[in-house]
């Protein structure tokens, strides 16, 4: 065994083998994979091998397509068969909601370059004669679906990697991982120690235990999963063509042909059962779990009704095996904050659809410093230290049970909540707030009026929240609204080198004392890593505000550049806030402070410490509503007093609570982009229209060279806004944008501007068509809707409302 390696990958399942292969493909040869038993000895060996390209996150869908198309390549290099069966597939819908969902997937496929189409029930039955047409309303046909041999795939990755220089040590268990002072790692195994520059935790079923060796508690949990293989079905055996890969959402089952005449049927039952909730036993080997057909009987009953021939066939074999999930069902990929050169590639619940994409992104990230694709949805940084084992358990069960259920745009799921709350949680609840959770923290979405139902009827179309949000928007535009803003991420940056540090990582010039500025943060490749408001509170102290869901993501980046002499702290809920916004906001503030808050004395983008009522606060004149507004930050113990003060003073001005749905409508009307929608690590500042906040003449900063090149070349896409001829559904994100019938981009956000009576959308289109005003359409729920590009925001294009 080697004693030194550039990378040690821990785990020889399909994911670890893919990481190893991709590292060698990119030219890193001194790489090693360590496997405690035989390759595939975790979840991989008993996987059903099914693969498809449908995913709620379009970026993950793209990587799934990459994975499926990769198998031929690794077969060719390794000479090892992957058992590839690209049969094409059908996703079947029994309900109008599911039909709508499939139509959305087909629309999305247009800009992702995937080959999908909606087909009638008749056509579906022609393609898959086992189905009983009476139960279905429509289907999605996808050419890139099928199944592979999981063991063949894993060995093909490993062999190809070996041919390209990697080494694989089987029957070797990693028992300890110890950081060394220079950032490398001692990987201690039962056969000796390897010093590795980087380690990758691809421990699959044991990812938690491997993580614990480095002091990590990863949010992953294994669930039991069962599938069965039928005896030969005469209709299948008689068919000349292999059966299609099938997903029957309402039966909650998937299936494919197995052998000459059998069918493999798997299900994600509602009452899923976790396996080894706290600790995966090391002695668990190439084993299966005890079957429990009772548990999956309800799904099978529906399945046999939908596909009667299967009900007549006997059962040849049942497989029950464990595999891991994360709270949202997407993988955990990337560098771990605070652990130098420690990478994860685990929590992959669809290794045969996703393993290639995970390996590619992680190897890019390790070698190039950037994953090379938008993998925000898989980044480990979407979780923080708030994800307890109990939270993961609740969310994973929820996720497993909902695997084949429709998730509506904006739908909030209840398990594992409330976990993080601010002191106002109950108070706002009494006011009628319905809550969402961001980074585990509860925040108001919208407020139900007195006597109105406290629940949202989730739908792809406008629902009961629509009517409730309208008066919230009006209150902000006509009077004054109050919103809880604690869910933003807030950072305290201090020290003699604080200015130098921020100046290096942020693209804009830093503000003067008492002033706020807006600044993007760029990666070395010039792409957007964040958008912040930055305030200089005093010499050597800055207050930075960004997106709450990106707190760990940003801290990981900040810490990479933090010099001696500067410190950064994420406040989390140690600092909480309320915002008041609207034309009467100043009058409310003036009632409760002793300061002069007139426009002249406290202009736009000013920030100052003030006493607000009884409470010491930091008050900034800024609002994401695009209106006159203030953000007021206080310690949690003062939040209730601040709230009372504002609500009492606001009563005379008609102050009304508003939530994030109203904010979404208001910011769309103003054309403001937001993190994770308009601003993501695949867009540049030029493309996002943020060049005015990128001070190329201030001197070098991270990403400045790339930003200059991008400004000169103009980038590929442009962020633009549209007014849309919508019917009863607004765009919600990820719809294709067409120009003269050709797909030219995609929607990032959409919604209804209540105070203007128009449906709006923002999105990226190719540069060539960006100047056009007409000829656009946006495909909403499978229907092309005429869209007109807006030359200016529908609300206050001159910005006079916030400036005066």
Nearest to 384 by CA among 337, 444, 423, 436: 337
Q: What is the spatial distance between Cα 573 and Cα 569, in angstroms, rounded to a whole number? A: 12
Paired with 745 in beta bridges are 737, 765
Minimum distance between the CB of residue 78 and ligand FAD, rounded to whole angstroms?
Answer: 17
Select 331 or 384, whichever has its Cβ closest to ligand FAD.
331
State yes or no: residue 206 binds ligand FAD (CB under 6 A): yes
* For ligand FAD, the closer CB: 51 or 482: 51
- Taking the least distance from each CB to ligand FAD, the nearer of 362 and 690 is 362
Q: How many residues bind ligand FAD (CB under 6 A)?
A: 42
For residue 418, is the peptide bond before it cis, meaning its omega torsion is within 30 degrees of 0?
yes
In three-state secondary structure terms, 89 is strand
Distance CA 223, CA 226 (A): 10
Answer yes or no whether residue 225 interacts with ligand FAD by CB under 6 A.
Answer: yes
What are the residues whose beta carbons fall under 8 Å from the beta carbon of 451, sequence distance 6 or more? none
Does the protein bind ligand FAD through residue 146 (CB under 6 A)? no
Closest CB 254 distance from ligand FAD, rounded Å: 7
Least distance to ligand FAD, CB of residue 262, Å: 15
For 202, phi then psi, to 5°, come to: -120, 45
Measured from the CB of residue 192, what is the shortest distance to ligand FAD in angstroms?
Answer: 13
How does DSSP assign 42-80, residue by residue?
TTGGG---EE----SSHHHHHHHHHHHHHHHHHHHHH--
Q: Is residue 202 near ligand FAD by the rule CB under 6 A?
A: yes
In this complex, which beta carbon is closest to ligand FAD, that of residue 9 or of residue 438?
9
Residue entry with tokens 């707190």: 551
Closest approach of ligand FAD to the CB of residue 702, in Å: 33
- Contact between 173 and ligand FAD by CB under 6 A: the answer reads yes
Do 344 and 358 form a contact (C-beta atoms < 8 A)? no
Strand 89-93 with 138-142, pairing: antiparallel
Q: Does 632 bind ligand FAD (CB under 6 A)?
A: no
- Is the Cβ of residue 170 or residue 340 nearer to ligand FAD in the bound state? 170
Q: Which is nearer to ligand FAD, 349 or 469 (CB)?
A: 349
Residues 18-57 that bind ligand FAD (CB under 6 A): 34-37, 41-44, 46-51
The reply on whether position 86 binds ligand FAD by CB under 6 A is: no
Binding segment for ligand FAD (CB under 6 A), chosen from 342-350, 385-393, 396-404, 656-664, is: 342-350
Alpha helices in 565-614 (DSSP H): 585-592
Round to whole Å and give the CA distance between 733 and 764: 11
Residue 13 or 673: the one with the smaller Cβ distance to ligand FAD is 13
Residue of 373, 379, 460, 377 lying closest to 112 (CA atoms):
373
Tokens found for residue 39: 């390759």
Question: Which tokens belong to 187?
Answer: 């990987």
Collapsed DSSP state (helix, strand, coil) of residue 738: strand
Residue 65 or 778: which CB sits closer to ligand FAD?
65
Asked if 322 and 43 count as a contact pair (C-beta separation under 8 A), the reply is yes
Counting contacts by CB under 6 A, is residue 204 touching ligand FAD? yes
Which residue lies nearer to ligand FAD by CB, 147 or 661?
Answer: 147
- Considering the complex, state which of residue 46 and residue 395 has its C-beta at the smaller distance from ligand FAD: 46
Cβ proximity to ligand FAD, 42 vs 548, nearer residue: 42
The answer to whether 786 touches 769, Cβ cutoff 8 Å, is no
Q: Whole-number minimum distance, CB 559 to ligand FAD, in Å? A: 27
Least CB distance to ligand FAD at residue 244 (A): 15
Interface residue with ligand FAD, options 7, 8, 10, 662 (CB under 6 A): 10
Distance from C-alpha of 506 to C-alpha of 493, rounded to nearest angstrom: 13
Q: Closest approach of Cβ 41 to ligand FAD, in Å?
A: 4
- Cα angle value 402/407/410 (rounded, 5°): 135
Q: Which is nearer to ligand FAD, 59 or 639 (CB)?
A: 59
Q: Residue 493: count other Cβ atoms within 10 Å of its Cβ.
A: 23
Task: Please answer whether residues 376 and 382 qualify as being in contact, where contact means their C-beta atoms are separated by less than 8 angstroms.
Answer: yes
Determine how many CB atoms are found less than 10 A away from the CB of residue 462.
Answer: 17
Kindly tell me which of 123 and 242 has the beta carbon lying closer to ligand FAD: 242
The only residue of 160, 205, 468, 753 in contact with ligand FAD, by rule CB under 6 A: 205
Question: Cβ of residue 188: shortest distance to ligand FAD, in angstroms?
Answer: 10
Part in contact with ligand FAD (CB under 6 A); list of ranges 19-27, 199-207, 494-502, 593-601: 199-207
Query: Which 320-339 positions form the footprint of ligand FAD (CB under 6 A)?
Result: 321-323
**Closer residue to ligand FAD, CB minimum distance, 159 or 420:** 159
Left if phi > 0, otherwise alpha if psi is -120 to 50, otherwise beta: which for 36?
A: alpha
Binding segment (CB under 6 A) for ligand FAD, from list 6-14, 135-143, 457-465, 472-480: 6-14
Whichever of 51 and 86 has its CB closer to ligand FAD, that residue is 51
**Minimal distance, residue 17 CB to ligand FAD, in Å:** 7
Binding of ligand FAD by 170 (CB under 6 A): no
Q: Give the interface segment with ligand FAD, choosing from 112-120, 245-253, 341-349, 415-423 (CB under 6 A).
A: 341-349
Rounded to a whole number of angstroms, the minimum distance from the CB of residue 95 to ligand FAD is 24
Interface with ligand FAD includes 214 (CB under 6 A)? no
In the complex, minimum distance from the CB of residue 606 to ligand FAD, in angstroms, rounded to a whole number:
52
- For residue 525, how many C-alpha atoms fall within 13 Å in the half-sphere facing its CB? 15
Smallest gap from residue 148 Cβ to ligand FAD (A): 9
Q: With contacts defined by CB under 6 A, name the span among 9-17, 54-62, 481-489, 747-755 that binds ligand FAD.
A: 9-17
CB of 483 to ligand FAD, least distance (A): 41
319 binds ligand FAD (CB under 6 A): yes
Between helix 96-112 and helix 58-78 the angle, nearest 10°, is 60
CB–CB of 802/623 below 8 Å? yes
In the DSSP assignment, the letter for residue 282 is T
Residue 203 or 495: which CB sits closer to ligand FAD? Answer: 203
Task: Select from 5, 9, 16, 146 the one that contacts ligand FAD (CB under 6 A).
Answer: 16
Closest CB to ligand FAD among 204 and 495? 204
Q: Encoding tokens for residue 5?
A: 């390696």
DSSP state, residue 388: -
Residues between 344 and 383 with contacts to ligand FAD, criterion CB under 6 A: 346, 348-353
Q: How far is the CB of 504 from ligand FAD (least distance, A)?
A: 37
529 CB contacts (<8 Å, ≥6 apart)?
A: 521, 522, 523, 553, 554, 557, 681
Instruction: Please count the helices (runs of H) and the strands (runs of E) in the chain.
Output: 20, 39
The helix (run of H) or strand (run of E) holding residue 224 is: strand 221-230
- Give the span between the Cα atoms of 632 and 608, in whole angstroms: 10
Report the C-alpha gap between 15 and 8 in whole angstroms. 14
The distance of closest approach from Cβ of residue 776 to ligand FAD in the complex, given in angstroms and rounded to an integer, is 37
Question: CB of residue 207 vs ligand FAD: minimum separation in angstroms?
Answer: 7
User: Is the CA virtual torsion 705, 706, 711, 712 positive or negative?
Assistant: positive
Quick one: which of 796, 664, 646, 635 has its CA closest to 731? Answer: 664
* Residue 656 parent element (H or E): strand 656-657
Minimum gap (Å) between residue 402 Cβ and ligand FAD: 17
43 or 519: CB nearest ligand FAD: 43
Chain residues in the site for ligand FAD (CB under 6 A)? 10-16, 34-37, 41-44, 46-51, 173-174, 202-206, 210, 225, 227, 319, 321-323, 346, 348-353
């Amino acid at each position: 065994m080697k004693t030194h390696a550039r990378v040690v990958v821990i785990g020889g399942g399909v994911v670890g083998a893919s990481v190893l292969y991709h590292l060698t493909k990119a030219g890193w040869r001194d790489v090693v994979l360590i496997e405690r038993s035989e390759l595939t000895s975790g979840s991989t060996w008993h996987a059903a091998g099914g693969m498809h390209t449908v995913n709620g996150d379009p970026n993950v869908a793209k990587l799934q397509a990459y994975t499926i198309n990769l198998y031929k390549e690794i077969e060719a290099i390794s000479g090892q068969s992957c058992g590839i069966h690209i049969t094409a597939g059908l996703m079947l819908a029994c309900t109008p909601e599911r039909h709508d969902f499939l139509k959305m997937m087909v629309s999305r496929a247009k800009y992702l370059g995937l080959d999908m189409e909606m087909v009638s029930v008749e056509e579906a039955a022609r393609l898959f004669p086992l189905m009983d047409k009476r139960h279905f309303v429509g289907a999605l046909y996808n050419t890139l679906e099928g199944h592979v041999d999981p063991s063949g795939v894993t060995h093909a990755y490993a062999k190809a990697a070996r041919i390209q220089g990697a080494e694989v040590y089987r029957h070797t268990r990693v028992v300890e991982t110890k950081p060394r002072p220079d950032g490398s790692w001692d990987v201690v195994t039962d056969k000796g120690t390897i010093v590795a520059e980087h380690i990758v935790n691809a421990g699959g079923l044991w990812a938690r235990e491997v993580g614990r060796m480095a002091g990590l508690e990863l949010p992953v949990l294994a669930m039991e999963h069962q599938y069965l293989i039928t005896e030969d079905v005469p209709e299948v055996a008689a068919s000349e063509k292999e059966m299609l890969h099938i997903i029957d959402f309402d039966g909650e089952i998937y299936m494919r042909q197995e052998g000459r005449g059998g069918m493999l049927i798997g299900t994600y039952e509602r009452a899923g059962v976790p396996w080894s909730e706290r600790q995966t036993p090391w002695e668990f080997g190439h084993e299966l779990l005890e079957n429990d057909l009772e548990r999956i009987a309800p799904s099978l009953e529906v399945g046999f009704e939908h596909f009667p021939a299967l009900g007549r066939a006997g059962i040849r074999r049942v497989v029950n095996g464990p595999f891991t999930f994360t709270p949202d069902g997407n993988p955990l990929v990337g560098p771990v904050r605070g652990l130098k050169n420690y990478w994860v590639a685990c929590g992959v619940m669809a290794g045969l659809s996703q393993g290639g994409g995970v390996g590619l992104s992680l190897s890019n990230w390790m070698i190039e410093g950037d994953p090379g694709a938008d993998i925000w949805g898989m980044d480990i940084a979407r979780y923080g230290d708030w994800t307890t084992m109990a939270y993961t358990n609740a969310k994973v069960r929820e996720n497993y049970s909902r695997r084949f259920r429709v998730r509506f745009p904006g739908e909030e799921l209840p398990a594992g909540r409330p976990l993080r709350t601010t002191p106002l949680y109950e108070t706002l609840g009494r006011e009628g707030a319905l809550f969402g959770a961001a980074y585990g923290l509860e925040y108001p979405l919208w407020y139900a009026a007195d006597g109105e139902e406290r629940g949202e009827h989730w739908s792809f179309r406008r629902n009961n929240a629509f009517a409730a949000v309208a008066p919230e928007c009006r209150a902000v535009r006509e009077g004054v609204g109050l919103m809880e803003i604690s869910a933003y991420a807030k950072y305290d940056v201090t020290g003699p080198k604080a200015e130098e540090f921020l100046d290096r990582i942020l693209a804009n010039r830093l503000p003067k004392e008492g002033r706020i500025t807006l600044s993007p943060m760029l990666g070395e490749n010039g792409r957007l890593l964040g958008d912040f408001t930055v305030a200089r509170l005093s010499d050597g102290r800055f207050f930075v505000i960004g997106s709450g869901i990106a707190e760990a993501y940003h801290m990981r980046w900040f810490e990479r550049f933090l010099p001696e002499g500067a410190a950064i702290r994420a406040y989390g809920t140690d600092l909480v806030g309320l915002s008041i916004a609207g034309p009467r906001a100043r009058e409310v503030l003036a009632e409760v402070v002793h300061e002069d808050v007139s426009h002249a004395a406290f202009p736009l983008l000013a920030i100052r410490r003030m006493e607000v009522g009884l409470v010491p606060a930091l008050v900034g004149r800024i609002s994401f509503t695009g209106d006159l507004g203030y953000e007021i930050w206080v310690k949690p113990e003062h939040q209730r007093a601040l709230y009372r003060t504002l609500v009492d003073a606001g009563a005379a001005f008609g102050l009304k609570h508003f939530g994030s749905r109203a904010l979404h409508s208001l910011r769309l009307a103003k054309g403001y982009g937001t993190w994770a929608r308009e601003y993501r690590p695949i867009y540049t500042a030029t493309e996002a229209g943020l060049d005015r906040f990128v001070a190329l003449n201030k001197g070098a900063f991270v990403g400045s060279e790339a930003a200059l090149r991008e400004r000169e070349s103009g980038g590929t896409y442009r962020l633009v806004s549209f007014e849309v001829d919508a019917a009863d559904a607004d765009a919600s994100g990820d719809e294709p944008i067409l120009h003269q019938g050709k797909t030219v981009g995609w929607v990032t956000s959409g919604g209804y501007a209540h105070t203007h009576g128009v449906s709006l959308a923002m999105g990226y289109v190719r540069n060539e068509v960006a100047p056009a005003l007409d000829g656009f359409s946006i495909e909403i729920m499978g229907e092309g809707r005429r869209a007109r590009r807006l030359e200016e925001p529908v609300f206050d294009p001159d910005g006079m409302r916030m400036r005066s």
